[in-house]
Amino acid sequence: MRLSLKNELLDALADILQEQLDTTLGQYSLGLESLSKEAEEQKSIQAKIASRKQEIQQLRTYQRGLYEGLIQNHLSKMSILPSRRSTKPKSRKSARKSSS
C-alpha cells in the first residue's frame, strides 16, 4: 500500500510540475512574441523618423532657395534704382547752372 501511495503522490507531483512548466513556457513564448512585435514597431518608428528627417531637409532646402531668390530679387531691384535715377533728365535749374 505504501508503494502505490508513493507512486500516486509522485504522479500528482509530476502533473503539478508539468502544469507549472507549461504555464511558464507559455508565458515565456508570449513574452517573446511581445518582444518581436515591439522590435517591429521600433523599426517602423525608426523608418518614419528617417523619412521625416528627409522631408525636413528637403523643406529646408526649398526654404533656403526661396529666401535666396527673394534676396536676389531685392538686390537686383536695389541696383536698378540708382541707375534709373542717374538716367533721368536733368531739371531745368541744374541744366541752367551747368551751361553758365
In degrees rounded to 5, what are phi and psi of residue 80?
A: -75, -40
Contacts of 98 (CB under 8 A, 6+ apart): 90
14-59 pLDDT per residue, tens: 999 999 988 888 888 878 888 888 999 999 999 999 999 999 999 9
Distance of alpha carbon 53 from the chain centroid: 4
Task: Give the C-alpha separation, 78 to 85, whole Å.
Answer: 11
Q: What confidence tens digit (pLDDT) does each residue in 56-99 have?
A: 999 999 999 999 999 888 888 887 766 555 555 555 555 555 55
pTM for this model (two decimals): 0.48
Q: b/e for 75-99, b at 16 or more Cβ within 10 A?
A: eeeeeeeeeeeeeeeeeeeeeeeee
Residue 55: C-alpha distances to residues 67, 68, 84 (Å): 18, 20, 43
Distance CA 75, CA 54 (A): 31
Q: Give the Cα separation of 32 and 16 in Å (integer).
A: 24
